[in-house]
Amino acid sequence: MLKLKSIKKDYKTGDFVQHALKDISVSFRKNEFVAILGPSGSGKTTLLNIIGGLDRYDSGDLIIDGKSTKGFKDKDWDAYRNHAVGFIFQSYNLISHISVLENVEMGMTLSGVSASERRRKALELLDKVGLKNHAYKKPNQLSGGQMQRVAIARALANDPKIILADEPTGALDSKTSTQIMDLIKEIAKDKLVIMVTHNAELAKEYASRIVSMKDGVILDDTDAYDDRNKKSGELVVKKTSMSLLSALKLSFNNIKTKKGRTALTAFASSIGIIGIALILSLSNGFNQEVEEFESNSLAQSPIIIANESVQMDEETLKALNKDSGLEEYTNKKKVYTQYDLSETLIHQNNITEDYVDYLEKMDKDDISGISYMKGTNIQLVDNTNGYHLVNFGSNSSGMSMFPEGDIASKNYDVLAGKLDDEAGLILQVDSKNRASARILKPLGFDGEEVNFSDILDKEFKIPANNDYYIKQGNYYMPATDLEKVYNSDDAITVKIKAIIRGKEDKKVVTNTSSLYYNSALVENVISQNKDSDVVLAQKNADYNVLTHQPFDENTTKDSILGYLGADTLPVAIYIYPKDFETKDNITNYLDDYNKGKDEKDIVQYTDMAGMISSLSGDIMDAITIVLIAFSSISLIVSSIMIGIITYISVLERTKEIGILRSLGARKKDIKRVFNAETFIIGIFSGLLGVVIAYALTFPVNMVIENLSGLAGVAKLNPVHALILILVSLTLTIIGGAIPANMASKKDPVIALRTE
């Protein structure tokens, strides 16, 4: 079944050439026990390695079952060793970090035998060699004879046609040697057993045929065999393959024998992950704080469309921060004009009926509230301690319009009264239920504290224009008899209809107090006054009827009409987005209006919240990127270190590489074993880094809270944690790829000689 035809094998060391085998031709029967005798250096082990496919012949041919091996590729030799050959070595060559049972199973594992089948068969073989009770021990817990029995069981696992034994009793005492030889002789009854030995007595006692060698040639063959009539092409072997799970298990068992080193390696590798995880945790936390602030700020920083808009886009801001661009002329004796770039910040908007109609068609799902600010003067008259106008001093009218929509319910709690469509005033208190004295005193509340009921029951009057403005020649002046104005049937009665407070989680609106009027009240005032005498007079006059002064750029006819209560277009529009995502939808909608229009017809808006968001986001992103870049250096160092550790592991496991190759493992299987080892270390390193980083967020949060008052800033995003684990895994695999590739290319014969 096995024939060597004119086999030659040379080994070159520099200029020196050693002829290990010189034109060897020999044939072997299907069942016989052949002993190859010869002194050291005679070529008998080289011959055995060539027969076993561990080494390659230089010329000639190895014919197995009549099939030539000249065209064999690596995968064919691997499959041949796995299915057709079983090795028994002098030094046993068991893998020390796996059990006896797993050693016996290894060849079947490479063959793709199912776990249950290989377990059953391995236990049967161990029972056959008398070691079933030792199946779950490690090899180093056995005696030499027991280890050799394990090696024999492993050699028989795939039921090979050929058993190759290299000095199988060389490391055993005489009694144990006899037991092993009896076992091998029993095997030879139905298999071809080729044993290399230098013990002539042992060979004569047990072998059925003795082939003597010296200096790379066969000197004698006691029972030569002629196979010229043997049919060719009968050898069929299956492809071998080690599964990823098997590789992981093998590497994990090896790692368990080096727990301390593995732990230190994983910790060192995780330092970069820890740094990046902490940076991302802080960045994530600060971004959440910024987003919360931004979300809250939408209630105070809506998108504003006014008669004049301020351009705060990035390009304009950059332009303001640049010099005139004439730096190269600074040494010349000339003075150059510097233009005020701030003039470019102001844009005059022309808010038209068409534009207001366009806004009405906006997607209401994007809007939390919208207010159309009219220039109408809301003038309150109070009768507390005499009739007088409510004057809020330097705070202009002291009031502003309350936004419409669900922004109220999202940002405010109603402490008393109710928010509805009824015309009225709204008082906002701060987080401690305080309202500014600047607001309370003009409203007639002088005490240190005021009951809600007193505030809600308080009545004010808004005088009608025809009662309040008295004509004096060609202009109008305010009435002095406020009692008459107050008690006029045309005066509008108004109350504070609700007391509100910013929600606790809305910090931007929580710590302020204000007085608002709603749009319903404005509409009542306009309805009352739009056809009043003073409004009609102002429409027909080309001067200010209140001051008898001509109009100018600050005081226009439209602004005076709006002030007097004429039904005019809004002077400002406040749009409150639901969140920053919908804010972008709104700004895109507003931008669409301006497409294709002349500069004078463009209506621009002020998006202060968007500018703050952009600046804060860019700053946080820049800081995060810089810090991650620094931390990434340690990741690169970790990757190099993993490569070094894997290389050390390759050196330590060189003999294991040889054992696996002798069992039929492919080069890619060897590579997979070491990639599996780096995979395990990478996963462990990433998990360790993430866990340590998460644990560190607690003291980091305590320090930040003590320094800044911000609680729970460092927050590790689970997605970031998963990504970092994958990064750790990827880098360790990359770091271990070169050593793993080196391991796969090791010569199995040389590897088996390594101690």
Question: pLDDT tens across 481-520, in order?
Answer: 999 999 999 999 999 999 999 887 665 555 678 899 988 9
State how far the Cα of 49 lies from the Cα of 611, in Å rounded to an integer. Answer: 76
For residue 316, name the pLDDT band (cuts at 50, 70, 90). Answer: low
State how far the Cα of 125 lies from the Cα of 143, in Å rounded to an integer. Answer: 18
51-55, 170-174, 621-625: least confidently modelled range: 621-625
118-132, 233-247, 384-398, 506-520: least confidently modelled range: 233-247
The mean per-residue pLDDT over the stretch 380-400 comes to 78
For residue 664, name the pLDDT band (cuts at 50, 70, 90). Answer: confident
Contact in structure between 743 and 670 (CB atoms under 8 Å): yes
33-37, 238-242, 619-623, 714-718: least confidently modelled range: 619-623
Residue 142 clears pLDDT 90, i.e. is over it: yes
The mean per-residue pLDDT over the stretch 643-649 comes to 84
Structure tokens at 634: 């340690």
* Residue 700 pLDDT: 85
State how far the Cα of 499 lies from the Cα of 80, in Å rounded to an integer. Answer: 90
Model confidence, pTM: 0.59
Q: What is the pLDDT of residues 509-561, one digit of tens each?
A: 556 788 999 889 999 999 999 999 999 999 999 999 998 889 887 788 888 99
Work out the angle between the directed axes of helices 557-564 and 533-540 (0-180°, nearest 10). Answer: 170
Please name the helix (run of DSSP H) or strand (run of DSSP E) that holds residue 12, with its range, or none: strand 2-13
Q: In a 10 Å sphere around its CB, with 0-12 CB exposed, 13-18 middle and 19+ buried, how is residue 280 labelled?
A: buried
Q: Percentage of the chain with pLDDT > 90?
A: 31
DSSP string, 107-148: HHHHHT--HHHHHHHHHHHHHHTT-GGGTTS-GGGS-HHHHH
For residue 340, name the pLDDT band (cuts at 50, 70, 90). Answer: low
Q: Which three-class secondary structure state does DSSP give residue 242?
A: coil
Q: What is the pLDDT of residues 214-223, one digit of tens each?
A: 999 999 999 9
Contact in structure between 445 and 454 (CB atoms under 8 Å): yes
State how far the Cα of 312 lies from the Cα of 240, in Å rounded to an integer. Answer: 69
The mean per-residue pLDDT over the stretch 394-419 comes to 77
Nearest by Cα to 81 from 174, 163, 204: 163
Q: What is the DSSP letter of 305?
A: E
Q: What's the CA angle centered on 257, arms 254 and 261, to 5 degrees?
A: 100
Pairing label, strands 209-214, 217-221: antiparallel
* Residue 331 pLDDT: 61
* Residue 342 pLDDT: 53
Q: Percentage of the chain with pLDDT > 70?
A: 87
Rg for the chain, CA atoms, rounded: 47
Contact in structure between 272 and 632 (CB atoms under 8 Å): yes
Contact in structure between 614 and 607 (CB atoms under 8 Å): no
DSSP E strand boundaries for 518-670: 543-544, 549-550, 572-577
For residue 491, report the phi and psi dihedrals to the nearest 5 degrees. -70, 145
- Three-state SS for 414-445 is EEEECCCCCCCEEEEECCCCCCCHHHHCCCCC
Place of tokens 């027991």: 146
Residue 172 clears pLDDT 70, i.e. is over it: yes
- List of residues 6+ apart from 209 with CB closer than 8 A: 32, 33, 34, 35, 221, 222, 223
Q: What is the dihedral of CA 170, 171, 176, 180, to 10 degrees?
A: -50
Contact in structure between 385 and 443 (CB atoms under 8 Å): no
Q: What is the pLDDT of residues 689-710, one digit of tens each?
A: 899 988 988 888 888 778 777 7
State how far the Cα of 13 lies from the Cα of 23, in Å rounded to an integer. Answer: 21
301-310, 418-427, 691-700: least confidently modelled range: 301-310
The mean per-residue pLDDT over the stretch 271-287 comes to 80
* Residue 326 pLDDT: 47
Average pLDDT, the chain: 84
* Residue 395 pLDDT: 46
Q: What's the CA angle centered on 634, arms 632 and 637, to 5 degrees?
A: 115
The mean per-residue pLDDT over the stretch 453-473 comes to 92
137-146, 162-171, 303-312, 638-647: least confidently modelled range: 303-312
DSSP E strand boundaries for 281-396: 303-306, 308-310, 346-348, 367-373, 381-382, 388-389
Identify the top-confidence range among 152-166, 307-321, 646-660: 152-166
The mean per-residue pLDDT over the stretch 608-622 comes to 59
* Residue 324 pLDDT: 45
Q: Which three-class secondary structure state does DSSP give residue 505?
A: coil
Residue 438 clears pLDDT 90, i.e. is over it: no
- List of residues 6+ apart from 560 with CB closer than 8 A: 538, 544, 545, 546, 551
Contact in structure between 88 and 165 (CB atoms under 8 Å): yes
- Three-state SS for 515-526 is EEECHHHHHHHH
- List of residues 6+ apart from 375 with CB closer than 8 A: 559, 562, 563, 568, 571
Work out the angle between the directed axes of helices 608-652 and 654-662 (0-180°, nearest 10). Answer: 80
State how far the Cα of 9 lies from the Cα of 42, in Å rounded to an integer. Answer: 12
* 2-13 β-sheet, strand order: 16-28, 2-13, 59-64, 67-68
Work out the angle between the directed axes of helices 100-111 and 115-128 (0-180°, nearest 10). Answer: 130
For residue 410, name the pLDDT band (cuts at 50, 70, 90). Answer: confident
Q: What is the pLDDT of residues 703-731, one digit of tens each?
A: 877 877 777 778 888 888 898 888 888 88
Contact in structure between 459 and 486 (CB atoms under 8 Å): no
Per this entry, what is the length of the chain? 755
141-145, 298-302, 544-548, 739-743: least confidently modelled range: 298-302
AA identity, residue 453: S
* Residue 213 pLDDT: 93
* Residue 165 pLDDT: 93
For residue 682, name the pLDDT band (cuts at 50, 70, 90). Answer: confident
Q: What is the DSSP letter of 664?
A: T
Domains of the chain (ranges, CATH numbers) = 2-238 (3.40.50.300), 256-294+616-753 (no CATH), 375-569 (no CATH)
Pairing label, strands 2-13, 59-64: antiparallel
